Structure 1
């Protein structure tokens, strides 16, 4: 999960299938991470927008004036989505207990490479649309030299977003894996590279957290491979939480939640890596009966 940010409205990403200036038009294959690969989203009111789910903002993000937008980056964001109703919609079919990938998950590596070259490979993969509502096309990029196949990661993320307890299954939007012309990007990066991508927008991820930026989602390789010490499931199950939490921000849920009560499932929009506060760890937005798992809003 990323780091806790100051909620703020964003400029709308645009109509269905709109291209992002930075991520949608970048050529396929390897990209090079610049010193400020992700620009800060500048709104008309002069406030910078970015989101994270743990720790504190970097000192550079504290002034009220927005940093100038980095040339070539996208400032379009998803439309603000209405808060889902706790009652939920028609119940989807029960989901499998852990996912098949979770059952076959090997032991997590004892160590994770702290840094990589800062270049990325885009998954040469595409898939069918899942879900209804606003279509958001996404592509997946993996930092080079970290031992993870971009295509395999893309397929795993595709399965997460198509899960019967996920956003797409409950009318919160439609998603489609693409290799170009994407609305947002999901990057898996070493801790140092993830920090650099997030810090470009004033987000201090401290080598531990994920973040959501104006271009999309940055996943810390450490969390992807090792999960979280506060999460009771496998790293593969924790990957569901990473994607569901950060994509929750991507579809317009700007606030965080906290535990609704001892023994209850933690909301997916809770910063579970920072402690469960009596809740049970949970990786999905909805329960098996189709009810949205919610909790008090964090101010």
Structure 2
């Protein structure tokens, strides 16, 4: 009888223990479901914000270039300022000719700057001095001839005194020297393909060509060829190409038929 009671007690303990364990397992499952899925071990990446572009700096406005003067005074005072400058003689041979440069008063051109430019023109490797046709020296006094830059009206008056009608457009060579029309010096020529700075070479080389003894003018030697510097190119090229230098790049003298 005692053994029977012991068996019943053990059986009841097992049954009771199993029921408790089952109830505990069910409660654990309910807690897991209500808590949601277990968190992942990989962290969720944070969104990367693109940097805001820096505003472009406001550009500093550049000053507008000074417009080139395109108007030329028709007349001036009729008096001249001499460039107070001098230089070494340039040239490989021939007679030394001293010259001074004058600019008409009231004209917006520096006599000193004009003299420096003319000095460079006469020293150019394609010019007269570089090929033995004369030596030239800039002086401020005791000159052999003068190069004057004058307004059209003044240039006409100076040239007409030598019987030359320049019509407010042309340059000339007189017994005193060269007269440069301010209009041509500043604007160049409509028949010349280069800028006024290059056309100034033609002015000086042409008129100084007369000064060194080349009295006659020349004409175009043929279509497509360089016009001689002693050709009056402003009156038309007649098929030639405009040219400001007495010699070509190979040192050959550029010539053409003499105008009768």
TM-score by length of structure 1 reads: 0.64
> Structure 1 residue 187 and structure 2 residue 138: aligned?
no
Q: 224, 228, 249: which one pairs with 1:288? A: 249
Q: Distance in 2 between matches of 1:124 and 1:162?
A: 19
Match of 1:271 among 219, 223, 232: 232
The reply on whether 1:111 has 2:74 as its aligned counterpart is no
1:233 to 180, 194, 205: 194
Inter-partner Cα distance in structure 2 for 1:237 and 1:108: 16
Secondary structure at 2:80 match in 1: strand
- Per the alignment, residue 97 of structure 2 pairs with 136
Shift of 1:120: 0.2
CA deviation profile, 1:252-292 (whole Å, cap 9, x unmatched): 00011000001000000000000000000000000010000
Q: Deviation string for 1:228-274 (max 9, x for gaps)? A: 00000000000000000000000000011000001000000000000
CA RMSD of aligned residues (A): 1.0
User: Mind listing any 5+ residue stretches in structure 1 that lack a counterpart?
Assistant: 1-105
Counterpart among 58, 67, 81 of residue 121 in structure 1: 81
Higher helix share: 2
- Offset, 1:203: 1.2
Matches within 5 A, 1:131-170: 131=91, 132-170=93-131
Larger radius of gyration: 2
Deviations 1:169-196 (A, max 9, x none): 0000000000000000000000000011
Kindly tell me: are residues 220 and 126 of structure 1, through their superposed partners in 2, closer, same or farther at Cα, counting changes over 3 Å? same
TM-score, length-scaled by structure 2: 0.73
Q: How many pairs are equivalent?
A: 194
Structure 2 alignment gaps of length 5 or more: 1-65
Structure 1 position 124, deviation (Å): 0.2
Q: Secondary structure at the match of 1:130?
A: coil
| Aligned counterparts of 1:245 and 1:171: Cα–Cα separation in 2 | 16
Equivalent residue for 1:31? none
